[in-house]
């Protein structure tokens, strides 16, 4: 059970890490850029990488979750999880949360780009 909860924390932590700008990037290069360049890199990265990846996982995991739901998949262990689809449904839910965080991040960086002086 602890692995399932740990995975849920990680899935929902992705959106939180983006919101707090705690995600991985090449900081030794990024730190030397102007605020306008930083905002442009964040906008391009969000549009080219974050959105397509999140949408791929959301739509790609739909059938995975629905199969678990329609077959009423349960854990093979005695006394294990009886509704495994709930845990599997956290995959698209976590990436939907990441997508919403990405929209907020994109809008924030568009505002920063417009306000920044070179």
SS (H, E, C) the chain: CHHHHHHHHHHHHHHHHHHCCCCCCCHHHHCCCCHHHHHHHHHHHHHHHHHHHHHHHHHHHHHHHHHHHHCCCCCCCCCCCCCHHHHHHHHHHHHHHHHHHHHHHHHHHHHHHHHCCC
Q: Tokens standing for 7?
A: 């995975």
The residue range of the domain holding 56 is 2-115
Asked if pLDDT for residue 55 goes beyond 90, the answer is yes
Measured CA to CA, the distance from residue 81 to residue 73 in angstroms comes to: 9
Domain count, the chain: 1
Q: In this predicted model, which residue has the larger pLDDT, 31 or 66?
A: 66
**Whole-number pLDDT of residue 2:** 72
pTM summary value = 0.85
> pLDDT tens digit string along 19-36?
998 877 777 788 889 999
Mean pLDDT of 59-65: 94
């Amino acid at each position: 059970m602890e692995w399932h909860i740990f995975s849920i924390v990680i899935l929902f932590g992705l959106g939180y890490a983006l919101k707090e700008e705690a995600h991985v990037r090449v900081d030794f290069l990024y730190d030397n850029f102007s605020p306008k360049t930083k905002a442009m890199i964040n906008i391009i990265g969000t549009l080219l990488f974050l959105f397509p990846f999140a949408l791929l996982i959301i739509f790609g995991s739909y059938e995975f979750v629905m199969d678990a739901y329609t077959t009423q998949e349960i854990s093979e262990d005695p006394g294990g999880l009886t509704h495994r689809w709930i845990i599997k449904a956290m995959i698209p839910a976590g990436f939907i949360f990441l997508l919403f965080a990405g929209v907020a991040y994109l809008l924030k960086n568009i505002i920063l780009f417009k306000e920044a002086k070179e």
